[in-house]
Amino acid sequence: MNIKELQYVIKISEERSISGAAKKLFVSQSTLSHALNHIEQKLGTPLFERSTIPLTQTYAGKLFVESAYKIITLNNELYQKIQDVSDFRRGSFTIGVTHLAERYYLPLVLPQFRKKYPGVQINLKVASLDELKTALLKNTLDFAIMLPFDNPHVAYKSLFDMDVILALPIDHPLCKNYTCKENDYPKLDLKQLANEDFLILQQGRSLRKTAFEACLQAGFEPKVALEISNLDTAHALVAEGYGAAFLLDVITYNAPKKDRVAYFRIKDLHFYQTFCLAYLKDNYLPKAVNEFICTAIKHSMPRLN
């Protein structure tokens, strides 16, 4: 059994479809179907139930896929160890990042790392937090830059904090005497926004939970005018007077129309999100990855306050 065959079966199990897996693997459906039949003939047992749509694994298929993941991990680690012995300035690794980290953090780090190690190939996977969790635990990432989550198999190195701030349209009555010097945002009592319309992130986003928690501590439940998918959209809508929003301070770095938005820190409350570098505890970390980690920590995002 070779690595390519293992990868074929893994991709079929992930997509639960031969046609879907073939597209992801950039091979024809007939090629992949023939390869699967050949593997099953060698094993003497089917790996997938063909009678169900989508495909489901047989018991043998589940055992095969579990072992295939382990074999591919060991193969990759062996390759990385040999690379480290020969020349760790070459090789490759895969980083998982959130959309926020991709936009605001990677531009600080990647150029610095590339200057020092131009021969190292970096593969980037940009995804939601839930998708990054799954990819990390499936061992398809070397590490991820993300918010921490509770799992005994994952280790973390803290990179930077992002403060939660409030954003209001600049013509809002509470912004009548608004002044701000060098990102030293004034404080606002959240109770004053009890009747305000809020732009809130969609279900599953950590900042949504923070927004509700902050409002409840202030004695009210936020009135949701619109649920949105990202903070850049929230900022743009605040600038157009759609409502108030909880943002992360990093959004204000190069935000368009920031002259039409007033930013506040929350009086008597301090909420923030800590972004970390997450990796599996038992994994071998190649020297190139360790060098990237050092660069990431050294060139961490500056605080605004």
Angle, CA 132 vertex, CA 128 and CA 134 arms, to 5°: 120
Check: CB of residue 226 under 8 Å from CB of residue 237.
yes
Say what the pLDDT of residue 305 is.
44
Tell me if 3-65 shares its fold with 88-160+274-298. no
**3-65 placed in CATH 3.40.50.2300:** no
Check: CB of residue 163 under 8 Å from CB of residue 272.
yes
Domain residue limits, the chain:
3-65, 88-160+274-298, 163-272
Say what the pLDDT of residue 90 is.
66
| Alpha carbon of residue 148 to chain centroid | 10
Classify the phi-psi angles of 155: left when phi > 0, otherwise alpha if psi is within -120 to 50, otherwise beta: beta
Say what the pLDDT of residue 87 is.
59
The model's pLDDT over 40-82, given as tens digits with 9 standing for 90+, comes to 999 999 999 988 889 999 999 999 999 999 999 888 888 777 7
Say what the pLDDT of residue 261 is.
94
Angle, CA 276 vertex, CA 271 and CA 280 arms, to 5°: 140
Say what the pLDDT of residue 248 is.
92
The pTM of this model reads 0.66
CATH number of 163-272: 3.40.190.10
Low-confidence ranges of the chain (pLDDT < 50): 304-305
Q: Which CATH number fits domain 88-160+274-298: 3.30.1360.70, 3.40.190.10, 3.40.47.10, 3.40.50.170?
A: 3.40.190.10
